Amino acid sequence: MKDTAISPQTNLSNAPADEEELSALHIWGGHPLSGEVTISGAKNSALALMAGAILCPQQCRLRNLPDLVDIQRMGDVLKALGVKLHCEAAALTLDASSLSTSKAPYDLVSQLRASFFVIGPLLARQGVARVPLPGGCAIGARPVDLHVRGLQALGAEVRIEHGIVHADVKGRDGRLRGAKIYLDYPSVGATETLMMAATLADGETIIENAAQEPEVADLANFCRAMGAKIRGAGTNTIVVVGVPSLHTADYSIIPDRIEAGTFLVASAIARSELVLSPVIPDHLTPTLAKLREMGIKIVAEGPQRLRAIPGELRATDIETLPYPGFPTDMQAQFMALMAISEGVGTITETVFENRLRHVAELTRMGADIRLKGQNAIVRGVPVLSGAPVLATDLRASAALVLAGLAAEGKTVVKGLHHLDRGYDKLDVKLRQLGAQLERVTPTAANPVTV
Ligand code: EPZ
């Protein structure tokens, strides 16, 4: 993790702004789950690939898109840029043949930091981009200095004025120039921004210390389907040879490894056997390794099908790291599981500076967790007790739902807008597996009391 203090504008309060944000999930714990769950397309792929469609002067199609709020928000940003979108079933057609502007609107970018990734494709396509700084969020300051420095290396003039990143390509032909870039930190977003920008640059670009997440490789495969020349994506060194233009592509997004990991933890915490598909086991290596260490049996039942068989839970130690290390996006969910595992385990969060806020809420449910800086020492307890809790960010909300499945009595999880941003109907899928839960949205006549 880069050493970034939490910026004052970071919205730590997460005060709900409207009724949707006051929705609550009422969960009655102790009920077993059973059956098979379908894993949706990967959120963090879909968001990057939607930005990548800006690179193409023709229509593209993305399939297996998850249905969640952040995807809708990215769609709004693209529409504001002049991209025409048409959605049918889980397929989205994107037509960026005639972009109307290079200015991404602040009110939309501020709601979805991933929309900052449009800066690379806009600059590559039009030679100019005006994108608001995304600002911080509950888990950290989320700076974009690595994106900016990389774009400057590719020949862009970048200045920040009044919270807006102004990027312009120097030079007469308005085209970025290939460069050798070393990332101080293997940032997923910076790797994706720079890889996309480099696809249309003049010459060769080498990105060293690149992020290796599967979503980076998925974006590279989509860009290659559009005619980009990229090799090494998924390793720490990516080489891009720029081409004058890209062409249409029809591409299916990989399954969501974090949703899959979340359901594997659901199986373990509810002590219930579950089958998940489609999954790509290679994308789940650290998650599967830690679950097996904790006593869970996981067997492959086909190329993209896994069966999880619960066992006596025992504690383990976890340190979040860039891929192929243990994913920070699975940290909160594992903390919920370790809260009821035999023994003492340590969880160290090294990627984001403020991603342990679910500790206080799990403690309200009877968990025995002590915080020391970025380390959480988790001593397993026999059972959690249901309680009203507040979700503080996307993965924390999932962790609290999982804890509610195992808790004695009723848990009420508020702050569902976090959950709906990142999961495709998680509550509906859990209910279909046998969980006893219901979503309660307040009305004037019937405010949600907790
Ligand atoms: C992506 O965020 C994911 N989001 C995150 O998923 C995920 O947690 C994260 O990668 C790490 O895997 C999307 O893909 C949309 P980073 P990103 O740049 O790209 C620092 C979820 O729950 N940094 O790899 O923003 C940064 O502050 C979300 O689905 C800089 O210092 O993550 C952080 O400490 C949450 N300067 C670290 O790098 C920069 O210019 C990792 O951030 C960029 C990042």
Tens of pLDDT, residue by residue over 259-279, are: 999 999 999 999 999 999 999
Q: What is the mean pLDDT of residues 85-95?
A: 91
CB atoms within 10 A of CB 164: 17
Of 209-213, 326-330, 390-394, 430-434, give the lowest mean pLDDT range.
390-394
DSSP E strand boundaries for 117-244: 128-132, 156-161, 164-169, 180-182, 204-208, 229-231, 237-241
Measured from the Cα of 352, ligand 1's closest atom is: 34
With 0-12 / 13-18 / 19 or more C-beta atoms within 10 angstroms meaning exposed / middle / buried, residue 8 is exposed
380 in Cβ contact with 359 (< 8 Å): no
Higher-confidence residue of 314 and 172: namely 314
Query: Residue 92: pLDDT band by 50, 70, 90 thresholds?
Result: very high
**Secondary structure of residue 187 in the 3-state scheme:** coil
Rounded Cα–Cα distance for residues 221 and 231 (Å): 9
Give the contacts of 74 (CB within 8 A, at least 6 positions apart).
46, 47, 50, 51, 112, 114, 115
Rounded Cα–Cα distance for residues 51 and 310 (Å): 39
pLDDT score for 18: 58
- Residue type at position 203: G
Interior/surface letters 342-373, b for 16+ CB within 10 angstroms, e for the rest:
eeebbbbbbbbbbbbbbbebbbbbbbebeeee
**Distance from the alpha carbon of residue 113 to the mean position of ligand 1, in angstroms:** 10
**Distance from the alpha carbon of residue 78 to the mean position of ligand 1, in angstroms:** 21
401 in Cβ contact with 365 (< 8 Å): no
**Distance from the alpha carbon of residue 189 to the mean position of ligand 1, in angstroms:** 6
Per-residue pLDDT tens digits for 16-28 = 445 555 689 999 9
pLDDT score for 60: 98
For the chain, the average pLDDT equals 93
Pocket test for ligand 1, best of 187, 192, 236, 334 (most atoms within 8 A of CB): 187
Measured from the Cα of 146, ligand 1's closest atom is: 40
Measured from the Cα of 213, ligand 1's closest atom is: 12
Dihedrals φ, ψ of 400, to 5°? -70, -35
Is the pLDDT assigned to residue 445 strictly greater than 70?
Answer: no
Pocket test for ligand 1, best of 351, 356, 420 (most atoms within 8 A of CB): 351
Higher-confidence residue of 222 and 445: namely 222
Query: Residue 444: pLDDT band by 50, 70, 90 thresholds?
Result: low
Rounded Cα–Cα distance for residues 317 and 377 (Å): 9
Model confidence, pTM: 0.94
pLDDT score for 7: 36
Q: What is the mean pLDDT of residues 334-362?
A: 97
**Secondary structure of residue 198 in the 3-state scheme:** helix
pLDDT score for 89: 78
Is the pLDDT assigned to residue 424 strictly greater than 60?
Answer: yes
265 in Cβ contact with 310 (< 8 Å): no
- Examine the residue annotation and report whether 60 is marked as an active-site residue of this protein: no
Q: Which one of 56, 60, 87, 137 is the catalytic residue?
A: 137
Measured from the Cα of 215, ligand 1's closest atom is: 14
pLDDT score for 164: 94
| Residues with C-beta less than 6 Å from any ligand 1 atom | 1-2, 4, 43-44, 47, 114, 140, 142-147, 185, 187-190, 211, 213, 215, 328-329, 351-352, 394-395, 422
Is the pLDDT assigned to residue 2 strictly greater than 60?
Answer: no
pLDDT score for 138: 80
Both structure tokens of 33 = 């789950």
Is the pLDDT assigned to residue 8 strictly greater than 50?
Answer: no
pLDDT score for 171: 75
HSE-up (13 A, CA, CB side) for residue 182:
1
The proportion of the chain whose per-residue pLDDT surpasses 70, expressed as a percent, equals 93
**Distance from the alpha carbon of residue 68 to the mean position of ligand 1, in angstroms:** 19
pLDDT score for 448: 54
Question: 149: left (phi > 0), else alpha (psi -120 to 50), else beta?
Answer: alpha
Q: What is the DSSP letter of 382?
A: S
**Which residue, among 337, 331, 328, has the nearest Cα to 308 in the 3D structure?**
337
pLDDT score for 265: 98
Is the pLDDT assigned to residue 3 strictly greater than 50?
Answer: no
What share of residues in the chain are helix, strand, coil (percent, to 5)?
A: 35, 25, 40
Both structure tokens of 6 = 């939490």
Q: What is the mean pLDDT of residues 207-222?
A: 98
Pocket test for ligand 1, best of 77, 117, 188 (most atoms within 8 A of CB): 188
pLDDT score for 215: 98
Is the pLDDT assigned to residue 339 strictly greater than 90?
Answer: yes
∠ CA 148-7-150, rounded to 5° = 10
**Distance from the alpha carbon of residue 162 to the mean position of ligand 1, in angstroms:** 23
CB atoms within 10 A of CB 317: 16
**Distance from the alpha carbon of residue 169 to the mean position of ligand 1, in angstroms:** 26
Question: 373: left (phi > 0), else alpha (psi -120 to 50), else beta?
Answer: left
Span between the terminal Cα atoms of the chain, in Å: 36
Per-residue pLDDT tens digits for 36-72 = 999 999 999 999 999 999 999 999 999 999 999 999 9
CB atoms within 10 A of CB 144: 22
295 in Cβ contact with 312 (< 8 Å): yes
Q: What is the mean pLDDT of residues 359-383?
A: 98
Per-residue pLDDT tens digits for 127-136 = 999 999 987 7
- Residue type at position 170: K
